[in-house]
């Protein structure tokens, strides 16, 4: 479930405790957790299918609208059943990629699995090891400065580094990237690290 940036701070403050959506099929479940792209997360506390006549001014305000009429205009652009979803802000969720990145105790099976994943990511145009080595040799360097070294556009380079990050092989810094402990252990296991 996505939330507009303008709603994130009111969600954090507890001013927004509902979202009202039209869906063809349920898109949320009680207990589900959803990250806000500006930080933090919400947990779904309730999900109910309701009729238009069940909506109240209080619902509209709890969903961040000034009035029921404004909510109605927003909902008119959507199709499907009407859902009232209760929310509560739960703070930051642990990032499983961060934990994975710190795990440098790789078994032979782990190395084989990473190698297979990288080979699939490479497809017909190998790039994964080149990017890992480039980052290893240039920690903290901006993507726009690194991308030309591997013949990539900056946005493509960033997307590819995120793919490596999802495997726990790289970490983002305030500026640039670094190869994670897991990434270094993998490179070493492949026999490529000096």
Pair 82, 56 in one domain:
yes
Instruction: Say yes or no: 82 and 149 in one domain.
Output: no
- Partner residues linked to 44 by β-bridges: 87
* Helix 108-122 / helix 181-189 crossing angle, nearest 10 deg: 90
In this structure, the answer to whether residues 46 and 107 fall within a common structural domain is no
The answer, yes or no, to whether residue 39 has pLDDT greater than 80, is yes
**Residue 115 contacts residue 187 (beta carbons within 8 Å):** no
Query: Which pTM value belongs to this model?
Result: 0.57
CB 6, CB 73: distance < 8 Å = no
Domain of residue 181, residue span? 96-189
Percent with pLDDT over 90 in the chain: 86
Instruction: Check residue 148 and report its DSSP letter.
Output: G
User: Do residues 35 and 115 share a domain?
Assistant: no
Are 37 and 58 contained in the same domain?
yes
pLDDT digits (tens, 9 = 90+) for 115-128: 999 999 999 899 99
Report the domain count for the chain.
2
Q: What phi, psi does 69 have (nearest 5°)?
A: -65, -40
pLDDT attached to residue 78:
92
Q: Convert the pLDDT of each residue in 109-157 to its tens digit.
A: 999 999 999 999 999 899 999 999 999 999 999 999 999 999 999 999 9
Decide which of 57, 74, 91 is a domain's last residue: 91
Q: Which of 20, 27, 23 is nearest to 59 (CA)?
A: 20
My answer on whether 32 and 104 are in the same domain is no
Q: Number of C-alpha atoms within 13 angstroms, CB side, residue 134?
A: 22
Quote the CA–CA distance of 126 and 23 in Å, as a whole number: 41
Q: Alpha-carbon distance 51 to 20, whole Å?
A: 11
Domain boundary pick from 91, 114, 135 = 91
**Are residues 60 and 73 both part of a single domain?**
yes
| CATH of residue 140 | 1.10.10.10
State yes or no: pLDDT of 193 exceeds 50: no
Is the domain of 65 the same as that of 118?
no
Residue 82's domain is classified under what CATH number? 3.10.400.10
């Amino acid at each position: 479930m996505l939330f507009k940036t303008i709603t994130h701070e009111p969600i954090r403050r507890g001013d927004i405790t509902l979202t009202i959506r039209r869906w063809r099929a349920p898109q949320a479940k009680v207990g589900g957790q959803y990250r806000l792209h500006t930080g933090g997360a919400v947990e779904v506390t309730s999900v109910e299918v309701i009729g238009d006549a069940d909506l109240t001014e209080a619902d509209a305000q709890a969903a961040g609208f000034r009035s029921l009429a404004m909510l109605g205009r927003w909902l008119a652009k959507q199709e499907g059943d009407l859902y009232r979803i209760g929310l509560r802000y739960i703070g930051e969720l642990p990032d499983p990629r961060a934990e994975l990145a710190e795990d440098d105790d790789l078994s032979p099976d782990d190395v084989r699995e990473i190698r297979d994943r990288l080979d699939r990511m490479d497809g017909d145009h190998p790039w994964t090891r080149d990017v890992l080595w480039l980052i290893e040799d240039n920690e903290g360097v901006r993507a726009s400065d690194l991308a030309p070294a591997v013949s990539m556009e900056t946005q493509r380079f960033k997307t590819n580094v995120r793919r490596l990050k999802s495997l726990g092989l790289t970490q983002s810094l305030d500026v640039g990237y670094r190869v994670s402990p897991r990434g270094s252990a993998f490179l070493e296991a492949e026999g490529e690290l000096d």
